[in-house]
Amino acid sequence: MELIETGIKDLWIIKPRVFEDPRGYFFESYNRAVFEKAGLDMNFVQDNQSLSHRGVLRGLHFQAPPFAQGKLVRVITGAVLDVAVDIRKDSPTYGQHVAVELTEENKLMFYVPEGFAHGFATLRDHTIFSYKCTNLYNKASEGCVLWNDEDLKINWMIETPLLSEKDLVGQKLKEFNSPF
């Protein structure tokens, strides 16, 4: 397993070591010792999975402290453009984002720690997205940064996304008072 720095502190791309043969493939999707060696000491307490069709955009979501969540995300089938925006007020990269394409073929994973707004755009039909969380879901603490805020300059790689009502009313970053 290789942990790849992204240019934004604490945000990591994880490239698993994949073993393939005529039967299929095998890889470790999480190894606590590898993460701890890289200084990532987290305790996952909840796993989530979603199914989305091409053109769905979910995000940019976060949970405020004390219910903030770190997430280890990956695609089981299909493909997404996964995006994390730094919303840590004192961070030198506040408002900057990293986007990574996660696909069933590349098997990449993305670690998004607390203090980031997270979202993804589905690039293929029947995409199954999986994520491990470091805290339990708490509806009262959820927040949303506007997915198409022009200040973020995110190229989502899809036109006219299908959005939830919550995602339509996210806050623009310049109007947002980050809890982090």
Q: What distance separates the 2 farthest-apart alpha carbons in the chain?
A: 54
Cis amide linkage into residue 136, ω under 30° from 0: no
- Say if 180 falls within a structural domain: no
User: Which domain does 73 fall in, by range?
Assistant: 2-175
> Per the domain annotation, does 135 fall within a domain?
yes
Write down the pTM of the prediction: 0.95
Please check whether residue 171 lies inside any domain of the structure. Answer: yes
- The separation between CA 129 and the C-alpha centre of its own chain, rounded to angstroms, equals 10
- The verdict on whether 111 is a catalytic residue reads no
Find the angle CA(55)-CA(143)-CA(31) to the nearest 5 degrees: 75
30 is a catalytic site residue: no
pLDDT at 14: 96
Structure-block tokens of residue 40? 């990532």
Number of domains in the chain: 1
Q: What is the pLDDT of residue 38?
A: 87
Residue type, 114: E
Taking a C-beta distance cutoff of 8 angstroms, is the pair 6, 82 a contact? Answer: no
Instruction: Please report, in tens digits, the pLDDT of each residue of the chain (180 residues total).
Output: 999 999 999 999 999 999 999 999 999 999 999 999 988 889 999 999 999 999 999 999 999 999 999 999 999 999 999 999 999 999 999 999 999 999 999 999 999 999 999 999 999 999 999 999 999 999 999 999 999 999 999 999 999 999 999 999 999 999 999 999
Q: 97, 111, 118, 131: which is the annotated catalytic residue?
A: 131
Confidence (pLDDT) at 149: 97
Among 25, 53, 61, 137, the one annotated catalytic: 61
In a domain, 93, yes or no: yes
Give the CATH number of the domain where residue 155 resides. 2.60.120.10
pLDDT at residue number 24 = 95
